[in-house]
A = this chain, B = another copy of it.
């Protein structure tokens, strides 16, 4: 039951193949920057990256896979950037909020690219769940890093991180589709980040024990 045709499986990819993959991703980003999700057309990505359509689909089995992979790329770059210049605020909640605001400012520079990536992640069905899960984990890692915990995160802290991640994705989409302003996105991020400083303050309300 192996899938020898799919390089994303276990095959380590040759040099030329890595090169092709990079070309494809780059072409996708270029197209996404104009026009967003709709402008990333598979035939154009193939032409633009000098690869046959069939080859494109061998590397990325769907348009959504391609854009989710792009999102992974961008998150890894962001994560690296954050390692070099971590947030300096005293409170964990503020560090998380500022980290996300930094990411948000990055996305504002390329709203169309953001549109393509975020819509792909939210629209993705089960066939992409593994790849979207990587996006999820990367995002959560960024949030947890910003918390800068001493030990492993408590269940409450994990829960907060999850909810922050939800709010992040959903508020982004409302902004991208023109239903929320930058100010509203900012407010949502700050609001949800309050959960970070909370876990000890409010014990589970229904602590039957």
Contact = CB atoms under 8 A, between A and B. Distances in A.
Number of copies: 2
A171 B122 CA distance: 11
9 closest cross-chain pairs (CB), A and B: A166-B170, A122-B122, A159-B191, A166-B167, A170-B170, A123-B123, A163-B192, A126-B178, A163-B191
A48 interface: no
Interface string A181-209: 00010011001101101100110011000
Interface stretch (A8-16, A77-85, A128-136): A128-136
B162 A191 contact: yes
A191 B155 CA distance: 11
A191 B160 contact: yes
A138 interface: no
20 contacts: A91-B205, A122-B170, A124-B177, A126-B178, A132-B179, A136-B179, A160-B191, A162-B188, A163-B167, A165-B170, A166-B169, A166-B188, A166-B192, A167-B167, A169-B170, A170-B170, A197-B205, A198-B198, A198-B202, A201-B201
Interface of A: 37-38, 91, 93-94, 119, 122-126, 128-129, 132-133, 136, 156, 159-160, 162-163, 165-167, 169-171, 173-174, 177-179, 184, 187-188, 191-192, 194-195, 197-198, 201-202, 205-206
Nearest to A202: B194
B202 A191 contact: no
B197 A202 contact: yes
A191 B201 contact: no
A195 B191 contact: yes
A136 B91 CA distance: 32
Given A188-B162, A198-B202, A205-B197, A177 B126 contact: yes
A194 B165 CA distance: 16
